DNA sequence: TAGATTGTTAATCGATTAACAATC
DNA sequence: TAGATTGTTAATCGATTAACAATC
């Protein structure tokens, strides 16, 4: 994979690859066999040259004069993004948001499967959600050590507990966190955090409405 | 406000303003009175010059030799972002995610208040969630016409219903949508959509983990 | 072969940051 | 006044896109 040798892949380009994959998946379901960068660009709301450029960072996937074979390009993108396999998820925080994430069908559809749930509330510990037992956050180490680990933590705790839980996760070897709390998590190098800050996006939306500006953002 | 006259405010700059506001809010709670761009930058994980530049698009808010007064800068940012007032929210889709959004404390804390919930499932219509009655999506027009409207729609329906509901919302005058579905919504000019695509972010996280790259994104 | 569309270069555009004069 | 930090310019850096040769 190119990106190992040249670290010149633009940050947002990778996010766009995921966007392309989403749309290709849609096209594949419709039975479409081949598509041009022009038509895919329309669908994704980007520039066709940008699609070709983004793909060029990783190789040559098209056929000149024809376009891209939907099925094979989709597979290539899955390989590039690392989603050509199953990823297990650990939910940390079984509140409203956490339980919603647990039931979010989209995740399972893409091969992201919850394998364990943690919470700190004794009243919740021991009860079941979505077929999984809620375990106490303090048993995180035991779980990872004995019964199995998980690849990605979904952090949906309260603001207070966010950094503490992050510390625990890292201590026991978790390297990827999808962070739904508004806290800027402090993590060492080699640990990856993606923030999903709904309030920030809501603020941007307000700004756009009152100014009438067309500012937009992917993701 | 500057942005009305010069449309040169970079897209991500506005999102960063919201980020600054979030951190200033935190500092204000701690009782801090004044802060330099240097220290605020550390807190937000950005470059100090960038903070000063972002602010410069909208005016002069600091004191040379001193820094920024936390309280007053926060107020200015709230005004710029348009969040110095109450915004009402309409929830469309009362599934797991929708109900989680409804209970999300962060929204209320920032002055975003749900005023109505819609769903298409007759079994849900008429029941209460979070103190609000669930209404049938087809009564959207009546609600907006008679009893009151709302400023922002939170779209958390299934994939199938997303575009249809969007059409309805627009028909009855809603101009802002926070979209939690993976659908690229088709909207006319003057209607603003922000996509919160958790799966896209999850994909990016996978890429970062397997490549060990430091790619990161705000929001 | 003619038509189409990729892959890639080069030009453009926009965003970030270093540097420093202004000034508290 | 000396020290500090803003506001702003100019330089750098990076990302987007137009254009076209390569080629199916």
Query: Would you say residue A6 has pLDDT above 90?
Result: no
For the entire predicted model, the pTM comes to: 0.93
d(CA A112, CA B138): 34
In the prediction, which pLDDT does B40 show? 98
Is the CB of B49 less than 7 A from some atom of nucleic acid strand C? yes
**In which region does residue B169 sit, left (phi positive, over 0), alpha (psi from -120 to 50) or beta (all else)?**
alpha
Instruction: Supply the mean pLDDT for chain B.
Output: 92
In the prediction, which pLDDT does B146 show? 74
Can you tell me the mean pLDDT for A9-24? 94
Identify the weakest region by mean pLDDT among A195-199, A203-207, B144-148, B158-162: B144-148
Residue A215's pLDDT band (cuts 50, 70, 90): low
Tell me which residue has tokens 């590039």: A80
Residue A4's pLDDT band (cuts 50, 70, 90): very low
- Locate A78 and state its tokens: 């899955």
In the prediction, which pLDDT does B8 show? 77
Residue nearest to nucleotide D2 (CA to C1'): B65
Between chains, do B43 and A184 touch, taking CB under 8 Å as contact?
A: yes
Most confident range (mean pLDDT) of A2-6, A39-43, A144-148 is: A39-43
Touching check for A188 and chain B: CB below 8 Å? no
**Which tens digits make up the pLDDT trace of B129-144?**
999 999 999 999 998 8
**Which tens digits make up the pLDDT trace of B43-101?**
999 999 999 999 999 999 999 999 999 999 999 999 999 999 999 999 999 999 999 99
Contact A196, A181 (CB under 8 A): no
In the prediction, which pLDDT does A217 show? 54
Between chains, do A200 and B22 touch, taking CB under 8 Å as contact?
A: yes
* Chain A residues close to B29, C-beta within 8 Å: none
Query: Would you say residue B194 has pLDDT above 60?
Result: yes
In the prediction, which pLDDT does B10 show? 81
d(CA A60, CA B107): 45
In the prediction, which pLDDT does A1 show? 37
Touching check for A97 and chain B: CB below 8 Å? yes
In the prediction, which pLDDT does A192 show? 95
Contact A218, B11 (CB under 8 A): no
Shortest CA distance from B15: residue in chain A = A204
**Which tens digits make up the pLDDT trace of A38-79?**
999 999 999 999 999 999 999 999 999 999 999 999 999 999
Instruction: Supply the mean pLDDT for chain A.
Output: 92
For residue B134, what are the β-bridge partners?
Answer: B117
Whole-number percent of chain A with pLDDT over 70:
94
Q: Which A residues, 101 through 160, put their C-beta within 8 Å of a C-beta on chain B?
A: 101-104, 106-107, 110, 112, 151-152
| Pairs of residues, one from chain A and one from chain B, whose beta carbons lie less than 8 Å apart | 220
Is the CB of A56 less than 7 A from some atom of nucleic acid strand C? yes
């Amino acid at each position: 994979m190119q990106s190992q040798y040249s670290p010149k892949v633009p940050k947002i380009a990778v996010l766009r690859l995921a966007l392309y994959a989403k749309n290709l998946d849609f096209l594949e379901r419709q039975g479409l066999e081949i598509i041009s960068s022009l038509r895919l660009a329309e669908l994704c709301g980007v520039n066709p040259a940008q699609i070709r450029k983004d793909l060029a960072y990783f190789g040559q996937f098209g056929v000149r004069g024809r376009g891209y074979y939907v099925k094979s390009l989709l597979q290539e993108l899955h390989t590039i993004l690392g989603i050509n396999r199953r990823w297990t998820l650990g939910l940390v925080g079984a509140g409203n948001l956490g339980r919603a994430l647990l039931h979010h069908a989209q995740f399972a559809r893409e091969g992201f499967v919850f394998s364990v749930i943690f919470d700190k509330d004794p009243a919740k510990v021991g009860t079941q959600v979505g077929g999984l037992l809620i375990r106490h956050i303090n048993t995180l180490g035991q779980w990872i050590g004995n019964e199995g680990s998980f690849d990605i933590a979904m952090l949906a705790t309260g603001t207070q507990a966010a950094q503490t839980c992050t510390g625990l996760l890292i201590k026991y070897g978790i390297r990827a966190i999808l962070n739904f709390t508004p806290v800027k998590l402090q993590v060492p190098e080699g640990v990856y955090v993606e923030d999903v800050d709904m309030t920030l996006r809501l603020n941007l939306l307000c700004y756009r409405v009152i100014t009438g500006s067309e500012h937009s953002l992917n993701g």
